[in-house]
Amino acid sequence: MNTENRMTMPPRHELRNVRNQGITFLALAFLFSIFVNLLMLTGPLFMLQVYDRVLGSRAVETLTALFLLVALLYALMAMLDYARGRIVARFGARFQSQLDERVFDATLRRSLNPQARSAPAMALRDLESIQNLCSSPVLLAVMDIPWTPVFLAAIFLFHPLLGWLAVAGGSLLILIALLNQGLTHRKVAEAQRASAQANAFSEQARQAAEVVRSQGMQEDITRRWQRQRTNALQQTIAASDWTGSFTSLTKSLRLFLQSAMLALGAWLVLRNELTPGAMIAGSILLGRALAPVEQAVGQWGMVQRARTAWSSLNLFLDATPPEAPRTKLPVPKAQLTAKSLTVIPPGASKPTLRNVAMRLEPGKALGVIGKSGSGKSTLAKALLGLWQPAAGEIRLGGATLDQYDPDDLGRHIGYLPQEVTLFNGSVAENIARMSETPDPNAVVAAAKMANAHELILSLSKGYDTFLEGNDSQLSGGQKQRIALARALYGDPVLLILDEPNSALDADGTEALNAAVRGLKKAGKSTIIMTHRPQAISECDDLAVVENGQVVKTGTRDEVLAAMVQNAGAIKRGLRQVNKDAG
């Protein structure tokens, strides 16, 4: 299935749609199962002939011919069994490959919701759990279970008493399987949830390792993690004990039934109601009939995990429908307008921005100032199209943001967030936004525009220096300069900077201001969210945000004079910055 079809598929029943496309694989595997199970009858028939004909006639030639025939049939059965195993494994791989992009896309978009980040972390694992079931022997066992009644019915041909013993034993095993499902399903699900919570907490601690170590939190964090891990381990053991007890009971019962079948068969032989060959053949058929039931019960935990994953993945995809395809628009003008903008963060009930209006013309820089928590970052996310307006609209070059394809919009708008994230890859790949075919000229141009070119050349391998994501040895200022180059890559028409100089020194701040000057000269627009006076030295206009509302807009000097008590000192500082830049 191509990308366009995958992204336009209605969200509900996506798993069912993908599963239905794999029906051919499953049908072919089930066809192979028919031949495999028919060939399974070779063993009992061989025993029947050996005991009832060969031993009585002492015909070595007959024994040799039967043995060669059985060897050939078993070889054919092995090939068919191997083939169906490969088929179901490829069905699982196809299932995963068809949903990988859809699930990953939903994971990225759902992660924008701060209150729903645990669900995306589980979605890819859920998909993998389903794929693991498809490539496991338990799926083949499930395909073999429909043959259990056939083998049980074949036992009736030898003697009714043997048949009824087989039916009673098979019914008991099926009852045990149903009890296993009913009694362990909730326990396995609870163990999975507890384990996921413990893993999520450990990931949070790993990401905040510096804070944990520097603030003396390690002992308390470790205890909390161990308590969650212990709880998860206890629930896992409890679930394992239950499933293990059913597995042991099933295995023991199957072996006992085979012995009981031999005992009953021997008694019937003594009464001249059954031949020795039929006695052995009946025991083998019973073992073959009950084997898939035993195997399914033994690996029922995997089946339950896949069932739970199927349900949660279905809910996840339904809650994150695919985005509708959009008509590709030309590169917009560097003109941004917002009218009556109200934004409610995902998962929140109250707006953090209310009735915001602003206008930014090409070649201009707008500074958005305000205290921490006033709504500057929320405004940035709305202007980037990450959070949808609850009311009002945002237009870039005359079109509302939702008219642009998300990737196209990202190429038109450069973004430098407060918390810089780098990825595993070279410096050049990070600047090129992890493109598989980065344009080296565009990479160097972006780095020079961000005044990071000399910085990068000073690294061990320059632009080819490999970064281990955020775990690299770069300083916070170096990461921010590289992230600024990434924001400038591809010649965006609008640059949004959220506290851009939070980790920059004097040289870094000057590099930032030089980049803003270059954008203005090129007719591009810039928005800077900050509360640092140095960051607004290149701003033409200012907007003051308080409690989610824009309370003052105008030229930089006008707003500073009206809103800031020490406006004179700030202006003198800004003039000094501009003088140094000149």
Give the DSSP H or E segment for 142.
helix 137-144
Q: Specify which residues 544 forms β-bridges with.
A: 369, 552
Residue 90 Cα distances to 131, 266, 287, 307, 398, angstroms: 9, 46, 29, 19, 48
Dump the DSSP string for 280-343: HHHHHHHHHHHHHHHHHHHTHHHHHHHHHHHHHHHHHHHHSPPPPP-PPPPPPPS-EEEEEEEE
Return d(Cα 479, Cα 471) in angstroms, integer. Answer: 11
Q: For 364-522, where are the E strands, in sequence order?
A: 365-369, 391-396, 399-400, 413-416, 424-426, 466-468, 494-498
Give the pLDDT confidence of 248-294 residue by residue, as tens digits: 887 788 788 888 888 888 898 888 888 888 888 888 888 888 888 77
Cβ atoms 450, 519 nearer than 8 A: no
CB 286 within 8 A of CB 155: yes
In order along its 582 residues, the chain shows pLDDT tens digits of 344 443 444 444 566 666 666 667 677 777 877 777 777 777 677 776 776 666 667 778 777 887 788 788 888 888 888 888 888 888 888 888 778 888 888 777 777 766 555 556 677 778 888 888 877 788 888 888 888 888 888 888 888 998 898 888 888 877 887 787 777 777 877 887 888 788 778 777 776 665 666 556 777 778 888 888 888 888 888 887 787 787 788 778 878 888 888 888 889 888 888 888 888 888 888 888 888 877 777 777 787 778 888 888 888 887 777 777 888 889 899 899 999 999 988 877 888 889 988 899 999 999 898 887 888 888 888 998 888 898 999 999 989 998 998 888 888 999 988 888 888 888 999 999 888 888 899 999 999 988 889 989 998 899 999 888 776 678 888 888 898 999 999 889 999 988 887 666 777 778 788 888 888 898 999 999 887 666 778 888 888 888 888 888 888 888 888 765 544 545 555 555 555 555
* Distance from C-alpha of 358 to C-alpha of 396, rounded to nearest angstrom: 12
Start-end of H helices in 320-467: 376-383, 406-412, 427-431, 440-449, 453-457
Q: Which residue has the tokens 């073959």?
A: 288
Domain residues of the chain, as ranges?
13-319, 336-580
CA dist., res. 506 & res. 532, Å (int): 13
Q: In CATH, what class is 13-319?
A: mainly alpha
Give residues with Cβ within 8 angstroms of 131, minimum separation 6: 92, 93, 95, 96
| CA nearest to 232, candidates 193, 185, 206, 186 | 193
- Residue pair 290/169 in contact (Cβ under 8 Å)? The answer is yes
Angle between helices 276-298 and 160-207 (to 10 degrees): 20
Question: Of 414, 369, 338, whose CA–CA distance to 541 is shortest?
Answer: 369
Spatial strand order of the sheet with 353-360 comes to 353-360, 336-343, 391-396, 399-400
Cut 0.75: pTM above it: no
- Which residues make beta-bridge pairs with 554? 542
Give me the DSSP letters along 40-74.
HTHHHHHHHHIIIIIHHHT-HHHHHHHHHHHHHHH
In this structure, what token pair is assigned to residue 100?
A: 């990988």
- For 375, residues 6+ apart whose C-beta sits below 8 A from its C-beta are 352, 353, 545, 547, 548, 549
The partner residues of 497 in beta bridges, in order of sequence, read 416, 528
Closest to 209 measured CA to CA, from 533, 10, 470: 470
The CATH T-level fold of domain 336-580 is Rossmann fold (3.40.50)
Helix-then-strand count for the chain, H and E: 23, 12
